[in-house]
Amino acid sequence: MKYDKEGMRSQIKTRIKSDVFDSIKGKYTIFLVMGVVLTSFLVGGIGVLLMYHKVQYDTAEMMNLHCREEADIVNDALNSTRQSVIFMQQYAQRQRFELEDLIKRETRQEEFCSSLAEMFEGVAQGTEGAIDYYFRFNPEFFSPKAGFLYTREMAHKTISKGYIEVEVTDFSQYDPSDDRVKWMYEPIEQDKGMWIAPYWSTNLKINIISYVEPVRLSGRIVGVVGMDVDFDHVLNTVVKGRMYDSGYALLIGKDGSAIKFDDRGENQGEQEIGKDEVACFSDSLKKFSSGKEMIAYNYQNVEKRMVYYTLNNAMRLVLVADAYDIFLQLDMMMLMGSLAALVVAVFLAIIGYRFTQRLTLPLEELVDVAKMAGDGNLSLTIPGIDRVDEVGKLARAFEEMTEHLQQYVDYVQNLAYKDALTDVQNKAAYDMSMEQMDVDIRMGRAKFAIIMIDLNYLKRVNDTYGHEVGNRYILTLCQRITDVFAVESVYRIGGDEFVVLIKEAEYEQREELLKKLQEKLEQNSENEQKPWENVSAAIGVAEFDPDVDDGPDEVFKRADKAMYARKLEMKAARE
């Protein structure tokens, strides 16, 4: 029998035309398939696009929040140095020495220096990262080598070493315009305290930053008092808390010079390193606000994103990460979403061919739900979830996807408002609570109190036992606080600072709860092997008074002042 190839082809074409194109079922299925495919990709595309913009916005918020938190750490260290120097300036200006007497008699100069040096050592010991401290007489009136300089070598490695006096700079060897002595002449010329830009110490192999204040006696500038600080010690702590594996930091000076810290949080030497990278986004720094936007740029053929925050000394702290790291999870979600949309479209097409009428209503409902998800509403009721057929499976798969998206949103929010170490609320959550409390005050319904708690000896524990034990020390204090107050009432606003916001039911029982907190803080162990159990903390309490307070910040300041007074009492008791 001869095989009729052309006849077979004709029969196949006729069968396909009869079953698909000429039948209502086939036509409806083709229409359904086209509709399902277009709808799936349209909704999926809108969802992915919305997700992309949402994740990009949330990422910018998180990076800027992280940058602000790290900048606060640096600013606290800078403020500590500045306050120490200002204290010594005021102390020097209160000394009962006459300018003419100092100029004429070297013995009086020595007495003056001895008085300052004795007080300055204690101040320097209490200033984190202090390398050296000094007082130099104004060379206009005194010898070019008059004054003193105390330093401790390798301070970044051996913090516990005491200070030793070393030979001072001979100003007669330098022109006043020389950058090497501008720390002496600029404060005198401008008659104000100032930060000296960081410089690289070839001996210590670290970056050093200085703050200097002019000292006046008898209405004339008699000299300058200043302190040098290990800037790397402060910045390394910041950079080691980077958000991404590719993350690192740049510190940009007012003159455009840059210090770059690598992905291990270690400085890479001279200030010129990183300047070429700064040139890639220097124009953007003029257009975008500090602590708000996320700036995109390309460096060495790598797409990067950066945020920055301006420090108190006018330098900019810049946090950088590769765009690949930042959007890796989003890209995976987009790919999976596209594949899921394709699978769902094919699956629904097959089911629609066999059960067209049965699937019409639930499919329409699912399309409506998908549109709601594409608009960002993830609190959905999925139709057909109780079915055991393919419609039920599709509904459950869609429910899982929305649950995963909701979990991701919750995860992002948790990163933004939870302290990573203690799991209580962080500074951002505290600021948000204060905004709400400010609204309550304006509405006349505010009734609250603030407890300020400052952990003592954290630096000593860190230096003696290491940061891991220091973290346990912090956790022990946090545990004792949350043993008394609800977790949602406790905020960690700094490395060793906690705030308890007392309101509602806790406010009615505040005296009893405060007494319990005091008892908890006094339950220290005598076991020297567990220093983190020997918690010492100063607390201060302030209640909102509508006749006195215009906002929650005033209550916080009173609580902080009370805490600081208690801290001084505890220090005096130890001495």
Q: Please tell me the least confidently modeled range out of 221-225, 401-405, 528-532.
A: 528-532
Classify strands 130-137 and 147-151 as parallel, antiparallel or unpaired.
antiparallel
Nearest to 406 by CA among 382, 429, 369, 379: 379
Q: Is pLDDT of 280 > 80?
A: no
CB burial of residue 463 (10 Å; 0-12, 13-18, 19+):
middle
Q: Is pLDDT of 149 > 80?
A: yes
Nearest to 317 by CA among 290, 338, 354: 290
Q: Identify which has the larger pLDDT, 261 or 39.
A: 39
Instruction: Pull the structure tokens for residue 246.
Output: 């590719």
What does the pLDDT average to over 46-50? 69
The conformation of residue 425, written as its DSSP 8-state character, comes to B
What does the pLDDT average to over 499-527? 85
Tens-digit pLDDT profile for residues 113-129: 998 988 988 898 888 88
Q: What is the pLDDT of residue 478?
A: 93
Question: 355-417, superfamily in CATH?
Answer: HAMP domain in histidine kinase (1.10.8.500)
Q: Is pLDDT of 264 > 50?
A: no
The sign of the dihedral angle between the CA atoms of 497, 498, 501, 507 is negative
User: What is the reported pTM?
Assistant: 0.47
Q: What is the pLDDT of residue 272?
A: 47
What does the pLDDT average to over 454-480? 90
Q: What is the pLDDT of residue 499?
A: 95
Tens-digit pLDDT profile for residues 525-556: 555 557 667 888 999 999 999 988 888 999 99
Neighbours of 542 (CB within 10 A): 21
Q: Is pLDDT of 175 > 80?
A: yes
**Confidence class for position 58, pLDDT limits 50, 70, 90:** confident
Q: What is the pLDDT of residue 391?
A: 63
Q: What is the pLDDT of residue 382?
A: 65
Q: What is the pLDDT of residue 374?
A: 63
Q: What is the pLDDT of residue 100?
A: 85
Instruction: Pull the structure tokens for residue 68.
Output: 């602000």
Q: Is pLDDT of 223 > 90?
A: yes
Contact 497, 454 (CB under 8 A): yes
Find the helix or strand (DSSP H, E) in which 501 lies: strand 497-503
Q: Is pLDDT of 24 > 60?
A: no
Tens-digit pLDDT profile for residues 77-88: 788 889 999 998
**Confidence class for position 269, pLDDT limits 50, 70, 90:** very low
DSSP string covering 136-150: EE-TTTS-TT-EEEE
**In the predicted model, what is the mean pLDDT of the chain?**
78
Q: List helix spans (H) across 134-272.
A: 182-190, 231-239
**Confidence class for position 572, pLDDT limits 50, 70, 90:** confident
Q: Is pLDDT of 134 > 90?
A: yes
User: Is domain 25-346 annotated with CATH 3.30.450.20?
Assistant: yes
Q: Do domains 25-346 and 427-574 have the same CATH topology?
A: no
Q: Identify which has the larger pLDDT, 565 or 397.
A: 565
Q: Identify which has the larger pLDDT, 433 or 43.
A: 433
What does the pLDDT average to over 363-376? 64
CB burial of residue 367 (10 Å; 0-12, 13-18, 19+):
middle
**Confidence class for position 27, pLDDT limits 50, 70, 90:** low
Residue-level length of the chain: 575
Q: What is the pLDDT of residue 136?
A: 92
Question: 427-574, superfamily in CATH?
Answer: Reverse transcriptase/Diguanylate cyclase domain (3.30.70.270)
Q: Is pLDDT of 267 > 60?
A: no
Q: Among 21-35, 323-337, 397-411, which range has the highest average pLDDT?
A: 323-337
Q: What is the pLDDT of residue 178?
A: 87
Q: Which sequence spans correspond to the domains of the chain?
A: 25-346, 355-417, 427-574
